[in-house]
Amino acid sequence: MADPLQIGILGDFDPASPNLPAIEQSIKHAADKLKIAAEVKWLATDSLITPDLETRLGVFDGLWAGPGSPYKSFDGMLRGIEFARRRDWPFVGT
Amino acid sequence: MLGIKDADSAENNPNSKNIVISPISCALPDAKPNAPKLSGKVLEIRIRPGSYLEGFYKKDTVTEEFFCNYEVNPDFEGAIIEAGFAIAARGEKGEIRAIEAPKHRFFIASLFLPQLSSKPGKPHPIIVEFLRAASKWKTEKAEDGVLE
């Protein structure tokens, strides 16, 4: 199998949330259907306030903005979404 | 995104003059105690004909799971469309439930949570198409060297 797909999730992971762990599960379900491998990495919103944002996000093949507001950093979340929008990176926000 | 400088959400700043994200206007009647105002299944989400979403679902009405207290303020619908987005899904009363960016390679934002209705062997169509787009982009960006 080729290198796994890299999906970055913008959001503050909380294992107790009813909605966040489901993201990883749902990516697995979809990847199985497409017969591809996908790896997921959580990107905490406060870690997105960084001058090397383009490099950090650019390694991902797709970005998913997760739910869970209030975020640790609303501004960080917006910057992540802005990267996807301006640089035309595959994006889903739920 | 819309070019509104002081755009804000009612959760962050209820006193902003430009509340683009406002509290849910119509709570679900059967919401559990302590659950967000809009939570659980909504049966009648209408998908815009000709949208990407319609192509993914291959249906014009879908059921989706929600878990939220805020929604898009309808006063900003015009600004959203002017900024190049399409309203791809609406609630029973026309409320904005998903937007997509037709000029973007894949850009979909929804108020509902497709991750909640995905099951093993029955993935959610939006997530399947998202991964398909990411997979295509993985190949293209490697060839183009877009980040170099």
Answer whether A61's CB lies under 8 Å from A28's CB.
Answer: no
| DSSP state at residue B125 | H
Cβ-nearest to B115 among A26, A34, A91: A26
Helix (H, G, I), strand (E, B) or coil at A62: strand
Nearest to B39 by CA among B72, B82, B70: B70
Q: Which two tokens stand for residue B49?
A: 């004909």
Is B134–A74 a contact, with Cβ atoms under 8 angstroms apart? no
- Residues in A touching B1 (Cβ below 8 Å): 81-82, 85
**For residue A5, what are the β-bridge partners?**
A38
Note whether B11 contacts A: Cβ–Cβ < 8 A.
yes
Q: State the nearest Cα–Cα gap between A93 and chain B, in angstroms.
A: 4
Q: State the nearest Cα–Cα gap between A64 and chain B, in angstroms.
A: 9
Q: What is the residue type of A71?
A: Y
How far is Cα B63 from Cα B42, in angstroms, rounded to an integer? 6
Cβ-nearest to B123 among A33, A55, A64: A33
pLDDT digits (tens, 9 = 90+) for A21-54: 899 999 999 999 999 999 999 999 999 999 999 9
Mutate to test the interface with B, among A1, A5, A13, A26 (most CBs of B within 10 A): A26
Q: What share of chain A is helix, strand, coil (3-state, %, to 5)?
A: 40, 20, 40
**Along the 148 residues of chain B, how does pLDDT read in single tens digits?**
677 777 777 777 767 666 777 776 655 555 566 677 787 888 899 999 999 999 999 999 999 999 888 889 899 899 999 999 999 999 999 999 999 999 999 999 999 999 999 999 999 999 999 999 999 999 999 887 666 5
Q: What is the CA radius of gyration of chain B?
A: 17
Helix (H, G, I), strand (E, B) or coil at A33: helix
**Predicted-complex ipTM score:** 0.95
